[in-house]
């Protein structure tokens, strides 16, 4: 069961990473908090591209580095925590993206982030 969950998570991460680079690039920019680009010397598109690359690498690592799966799971869980402020910024800023065109939808989405953290930790545990 854990192996299936881990492979699904790996595939989802690679897919999400590719979407950051290609078809959903503009949509993901709605999730980048303004504070990030105010503090760092990078624009929103750069943040989206960088996070997409990280997602693809983490997804691939779940598959190709089986001896490191626990460590990769912890890193992936930390990544999900790190991007959570972007989801909050989208909700607070009322930024429509990914069909989240209402306050209720944007706030409801926030409930799923802890599930991703749990999925990453559970599916990579020995």
Nearest to 15 by CA among 52, 44, 65, 62: 52
DSSP 8-state assignment for residue 92: H
Mean pLDDT of all residues in 44-49: 96
pTM of the full structure: 0.91
Query: In this model, does residue 126 exceed pLDDT 90?
Result: no
Q: For residues 22-42, give the mean pLDDT.
A: 92
Q: Which of 4, 6, 13 is nearest to 125 (CA)?
A: 6
- For residue 96, the model assigns a pLDDT of 87
What span, in angstroms and rounded, lies between the C-alpha atoms of 56 and 13?
Answer: 6
The more confident residue out of 7 and 95 is 7
The alpha carbon of 110 is separated from its chain's Cα centroid by a whole number of angstroms, namely: 12
Q: Please answer whether residues 13 and 123 qualify as being in contact, where contact means their C-beta atoms are separated by less than 8 angstroms.
A: no
């Amino acid at each position: 069961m854990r192996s299936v969950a881990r492979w699904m998570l790996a595939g989802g991460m690679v897919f999400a990473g590719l979407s950051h680079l290609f078809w959903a690039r503009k949509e993901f920019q709605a999730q980048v908090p303004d504070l990030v680009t105010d503090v760092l010397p990078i624009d929103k598109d750069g943040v989206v591209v960088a996070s997409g690359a990280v997602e693809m690498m983490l997804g691939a690592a779940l598959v190709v580095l089986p001896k490191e799966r626990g460590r990769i799971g912890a890193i992936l869980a930390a990544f999900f925590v790190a991007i959570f402020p972007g989801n909050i910024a989208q909700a607070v800023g009322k930024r429509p993206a990914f069909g989240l065109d209402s306050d209720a939808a944007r706030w409801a989405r926030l409930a799923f982030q802890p599930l991703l953290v749990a999925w990453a930790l559970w599916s990579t545990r020995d």
